Amino acid sequence: MNGSWDDDTTADKTAALSGLEGDALKLVAEQIPSVGSKPGEGYKAGSWDTEPSVDTAITEETTYTYTYARKLHPQVTANVIYLSRFL
């Protein structure tokens, strides 16, 4: 959210896993989309709600969400000098 995948697309991505009953189904690296370098205006690289991994067994329908983080406006400090002239 708040940006695009590294391939410049914004549509949801899906990966289909198949195997025999009892198999440990896992993602392969090519099924995990690259993301983080295309934030929208006012956003920066963010994080996954749960990091997808090739080591994690998928036992049910699973959704991973990547969200870009909002950029914080930098704090500005200014010195103000008041001058008075009494004539």
pLDDT of 28-84, one tens digit each? Answer: 999 999 999 999 999 999 999 999 999 999 988 999 999 999 998 776 677 777 776
What's residue 40's pLDDT? 94
Distance of CA 18 to the CA centre of its chain: 27
What's residue 77's pLDDT? 72
Residue 40 lies in a domain: yes
Residue 22 lies in a domain: yes
Domain span holding position 42: 3-70
Inform me whether the pLDDT recorded for 86 exceeds 70: no
What's residue 81's pLDDT? 73
Q: Determine the Cα–Cα distance for residues 56 and 87; give it in Å rounded to an integer.
A: 79
Residue 44 lies in a domain: yes
What's residue 63's pLDDT? 95
Residue 81 lies in a domain: no
What does the radius of gyration of the chain's CA atoms come to, in whole angstroms? 23
What's residue 12's pLDDT? 95
Split into its structural domains, the chain has a count of 1
Residue 80 lies in a domain: no
Residue 33 lies in a domain: yes
Residue 79 lies in a domain: no
* DSSP states along 28-64: -GGGS--EEEEEPTTEEEEEESS---TTSEE-S----
